[in-house]
Amino acid sequence: QKELLNELKGKENVTKSGQKINLYANIGSISDIGLVLKNDAGGVGLFRSEFLYLENDTFPTEEQQFSVYKKAAESMAGKKVIIRTLDIGADKQVDYFELEKEENPALGYRAIRICLTRPEIFKTQLRALYRASAFGQIAIMFPMITSVWEVKKIKEIVEEVKKELREEGITFREDVEMGIMIETPAAVMVSRDLAKEVDFFSIGTNDLTQYTLAIDRQNLKLDPFYDPHHPAVLEMIRIAAESAHAEGKWIGICGELGADLELTETFLKMGIDELSVSPSMILPIRKKIRETE
């Protein structure tokens, strides 16, 4: 079995009828990149940047972040590295953010909501990301989007950051791809308008399932009810794909569901362009794709 999978290294992710899809890897820290390359992923589809904040006693500096993003870009040697901006709050608490205790943390002050209300934290991360863009193929994506205005606001802040860097004579890529995560039903319902604003979508099926089914993803008691195969969740994914393609944008899946071999064929039929999964799932999914008509 292992040898069979090993033989798939260097091969394309292509179905028998010729449909291709990108297979990228999810990582939680820079030390995972060895595994990404070893398993022959085409890129990094989700770099959860939270570890930078979680392992620190205070806000990571621009330099600290820059060196990590630069290293990720360089280690991937020209392959795409999609870095997600901080997704702190709810299940990921960090003391120095001094977040208030909330009744409903999953519906609360988290992720992009923190970034848009504390732009100094957001801008430090964006500066580090843009500076690192000169060293490889970095793309940036934003978590927990619900509204078009949020994306417009993000783009304004990005423009401010780029202007500052330009004025300081710091080199960066002007055309860094910018995407959003689709992980709320609201984002799906306005996906056609969101698609006009960004370069790509990446579906966070863990949160999309939680918010679509109104089921706390952390409550083990609710496990029997937490069903990412629920037709409502699959329909959300289908609609998001249709919207992205109608606007000429690409769409990937970076939540756990992307690695579900029972759904690989369904995702291919929907025209999903990229699946981002844990490194160890790259070759099994490649195998599945190559066996599919």
Cross-strand partners of 180: 142, 201
* Residue choice 39, 124, 205, 278 for contact with ligand PEP (CB under 6 A): 205
Q: Under rule CB under 6 A, which residues in 1-60 are in contact with ligand PEP? A: 46, 48
Residue 195 CB-half CA count within 13 A: 20
With contacts defined by CB under 5 A, how many residues of the chain interact with Mg ion? 3
* Residue choice 32, 40, 87, 199 for contact with ligand PEP (CB under 6 A): 87
Q: How far is the CB of 204 from Mg ion (least distance, A)?
A: 4
Q: How far is the CB of 190 from Mg ion (least distance, A)?
A: 18
For residue 131, state whether it binds ligand PEP (rule: CB under 6 A).
no
Tell me how long the chain is: 293
* Residue choice 45, 89, 204, 279 for contact with Mg ion (CB under 5 A): 204
Q: In one letter, which amino acid is 171?
A: T
How many other C-beta atoms are found inside a 10 Å radius of the C-beta of residue 225?
A: 12
CA distances, 95 to each of 89, 99, 100, 123 (Å): 10, 7, 10, 20
Q: How far is the CB of 193 from Mg ion (least distance, A)?
A: 21
Nearer to ligand PEP, 8 or 282 (CB): 282
For residue 204, state whether it binds ligand PEP (rule: CB under 6 A).
yes
Question: What letters, b where the CB count within 10 A reaches 16 and e where it falls short, cover 190-224?
Answer: bbeebbebbbbbbbbbbbbbbbbbebbbeeeeeee
* Contact pattern for Mg ion over residues 173 through 192, marking x by CB under 5 A: ----------x---------
Q: Considering CB distances under 5 to 8 angstroms, the limit depending on partner class, which of ligand PEP, Mg ion, none binds residue 67?
A: none
Nearer to Mg ion, 172 or 211 (CB): 211
Question: What letters, b where the CB count within 10 A reaches 16 and e where it falls short, cover 244-272?
Answer: bbeeebbbbbbbbbbbbeebbeebbebeb
DSSP SS3 for 199: coil
* Residue choice 115, 140, 254, 282 for contact with ligand PEP (CB under 6 A): 254
Q: Which residues bind ligand PEP (CB under 6 A)?
A: 46, 48, 87, 183, 204-207, 254-255
